Amino acid sequence: MNGPLSLRTRIALLFALSVTAALLLASRWFAYVGNARLLADARQELCGKVAWAQAMLRAVHTPEDWARLEARAPDIRYGQPGMAFLITDRGSVRDAFGAKPEIRRLAAIPPGAKATPATLTVGSRVLLVAAARMPVGIPGARPVRVAIGLDITHDRLFSHHFERTIDITILALGMALGGLGWLVARRGLSPIKAVSSRMAALSARTLDQPLASAPVPREMEELVRAFELMRTHLHDAFRRLTQFSDDLAHELRTPLSNCLLQTQVTLDGAADLQRYRAALQANEEECQRLSRMMADMLFMAKADNRLEKPRCEALDLAAEVAALFEFYDAQAAEQGVRLTLTGHARLQADKLMLRRAISNLLSNALAFTARGDAIRVHMETSDDGFAVLGVTNPGPEIPEAEQARIFERLYRADAARQNNASDHLGLGLAITRSIVELHGGAIGVSCRNGHTTFTMRLPALCGEAPAGA
């Protein structure tokens, strides 16, 4: 047989084998009890015959009585036509009836003080025999030897036939039960079949449909729940991938069509050096945008596949933020926004990556903070060994449904996305998250009372994310 047995066949076989074994065991027990009963009946009958013979012999007082006994002896066969009977006196036969081989075997049985029944097989017949010395009524006469054999062949044949019939019936029943078990197992396992065919039919287009349309048996609930979770994850990943490729196409189309348009317009017009220069400058800007996008995408792809390794060094987080403040000072002053820094933390991290991650948060905060307001950066070392940095700015709150999505690549809020000419690609937070995760940390956002806070948690020791990271 190829491969392991199917679950259905296993259940059916086990069911049939166990039921057959149990029935066979029960039938053996019943046969044993039946045989014991038959033997007990035969013994009782034999004892009755022995008692009858004893009474007859005690009634022999004269030699004439012997002749009467011999005449009446065949009566002992009443109800037992196949019985063998033998009386011997000092080796010579006084009376005997039955088949010759049986008489010979009876003569060979050593007589006991008491007639104890035993079974004896003679040819195809089975006898229950007993032999004993019995006194006669003649005063001074020696006891004679009496042997009686009851024919129990019929009982034995009956038992044998009964056992065989039951065995055949049980085997047939076992086979029928095997078939029945197979049908029952098939019906019982049908939810597995339904779920597996639903899984086999799963494709990119049907990833949003649940695996089981009806409730499944309790034993399968955990399995189906695990598959459902996997399907949801796959669906989510697939949706994000589709969204990402849509966004990517969208982001690439604008600069490329700008380049194309500039080039065509320039070529169609009169040859003019200034025109060419302006067109090439515009094209250069678009190309720079594209190349920046590609570099960012490449960085994230490497980070996600752990190909980018952070070069860790001991850093003073406050000093790093202060250095970034210097960079953003001019822009902040121009926008009329204040930058404040509180707290202190030390950690091991890749300096350039860390600056890039914080810089993305600061640049976002600057974009959403109104003139006259302040951006607050706060840091501390948590009890569980993380350097925690929060960047808070007053401004429009991010709707809850969007809070997880803003960390996706190329995701921008609708208003930002409409402006194709915008310099923003929607990659800043995705890069920040990649960097944070590369360091074994986590990032999240929360909005409260008109303030948005991005919080980064980084393990203080590089590559040693404390439990719960």
Ligand X SMILES: Nc1ncnc2c1ncn2[C@@H]1O[C@H](COP(=O)(O)OP(=O)(O)OP(=O)(O)O)[C@@H](O)[C@H]1O
Which stretches of the chain bind Mg ion, using CB under 5 A? 364, 428
In the chain, the largest separation of any two C-alpha atoms, in whole Å, equals 166
Q: Which residue is nearest to Mg ion (CB)?
A: 428
Instruction: Output the CA torsion sign for 413, 418, 419, 423.
Output: positive
CA neighbor of 232 nearest in space, from 209, 263, 255: 209
Asked if 324 interacts with ligand X (CB under 6 A), we say no
Of the residues 136, 360, 443, 465, which one makes contact with ligand X according to CB under 6 A: 360
Distance CA 49, CA 86 (A): 12
Distance CA 429, CA 405 (A): 10
Nearer to ligand X among residue 195 and residue 339 (C-beta): 339
Asked if 398 interacts with ligand X (CB under 6 A), we say yes
Of the residues 98, 310, 394, 428, which one makes contact with ligand X according to CB under 6 A: 428
CA neighbor of 404 nearest in space, from 443, 450, 360: 443
CB–CB of 457/443 below 8 Å? yes
Binding segment for ligand X (CB under 6 A), chosen from 6-14, 156-164, 214-222, 420-428, is 420-428
Distance CA 183, CA 209 (A): 30
Provide the minimum distance between the beta carbon of 358 and Mg ion in the complex, in angstroms, as a whole number.
Answer: 12
Of the residues 103, 365, 435, 456, which one makes contact with ligand X according to CB under 6 A: 365
Strand ranges across the sheet with 118-122:
92-97, 84-89, 144-151, 125-134, 118-122
Using DSSP's 3-state secondary structure scheme, residue 395 falls into: coil
Nearer to ligand X among residue 173 and residue 287 (C-beta): 287
Binding segment for ligand X (CB under 6 A), chosen from 8-16, 24-32, 79-87, 358-366, is 358-366
Asked if 424 interacts with ligand X (CB under 6 A), we say yes
Of the residues 145, 412, 439, 457, which one makes contact with ligand X according to CB under 6 A: 412
Nearer to ligand X among residue 232 and residue 420 (C-beta): 420
Provide the minimum distance between the beta carbon of 353 and Mg ion in the complex, in angstroms, as a whole number.
Answer: 16
Provide the minimum distance between the beta carbon of 359 and ligand X in the complex, in angstroms, as a whole number.
Answer: 10
Using DSSP's 3-state secondary structure scheme, residue 9 falls into: helix
Binding segment for ligand X (CB under 6 A), chosen from 87-95, 144-152, 157-165, 404-412, is 404-412
Compute the CA torsion angle 429, 434, 438, 439 (nearest 10 deg): 0
Distance CA 453, CA 446 (A): 5
Provide the minimum distance between the beta carbon of 298 and ligand X in the complex, in angstroms, as a whole number.
Answer: 15
Nearer to ligand X among residue 35 and residue 254 (C-beta): 254
Nearer to ligand X among residue 182 and residue 407 (C-beta): 407
Provide the minimum distance between the beta carbon of 390 and ligand X in the complex, in angstroms, as a whole number.
Answer: 12
465 binds, among Mg ion, ligand X, none (CB under 5 to 8 A by kind): none
Print the binding letters for residues 108-137 with ligand X: x by CB under 6 A, - otherwise: ------------------------------
Spatial CB neighbours of 318, under 8 Å, sequence gap ≥ 6: 341, 343, 344, 345, 379
Asked if 20 interacts with ligand X (CB under 6 A), we say no
395 binds, among Mg ion, ligand X, none (CB under 5 to 8 A by kind): ligand X
Q: Where are the alpha helices (DSSP H) in 59-112?
A: 63-72, 100-108
Nearer to ligand X among residue 9 and residue 446 (C-beta): 446
Q: Residue 468, class by beta-carbon neighbours within 10 Å (0-12 exposed, 13-18 middle, 19+ buried)? A: exposed
CB–CB of 456/388 below 8 Å? yes
Provide the minimum distance between the beta carbon of 451 and ligand X in the complex, in angstroms, as a whole number.
Answer: 9
| DSSP characters over 123-161 | TTEEEEEEEEEE--SSTTPPPEEEEEEEE-HHHHHHHHH
Q: Which residue is nearest to ligand X (CB)?
A: 428
Nearer to Mg ion among residue 428 and residue 441 (C-beta): 428
Asked if 152 interacts with ligand X (CB under 6 A), we say no
CA-to-CA separations, 200 to 203, 207, 212, in angstroms, rounded: 8, 12, 13
Binding segment for ligand X (CB under 6 A), chosen from 73-81, 83-91, 331-339, 412-420, is 412-420
Asked if 366 interacts with ligand X (CB under 6 A), we say no
Of the residues 17, 173, 248, 413, which one makes contact with ligand X according to CB under 6 A: 413
Nearer to Mg ion among residue 38 and residue 366 (C-beta): 366
Nearer to ligand X among residue 53 and residue 353 (C-beta): 353
Structure tokens at 277: 């220069």
The whole-angstrom distance between residue 189's C-alpha and the CA centroid of its chain comes to 14
- Positions that interact with ligand X (CB under 6 A): 360, 364-365, 368, 393, 395-396, 398, 406, 411-413, 416, 424-430, 452
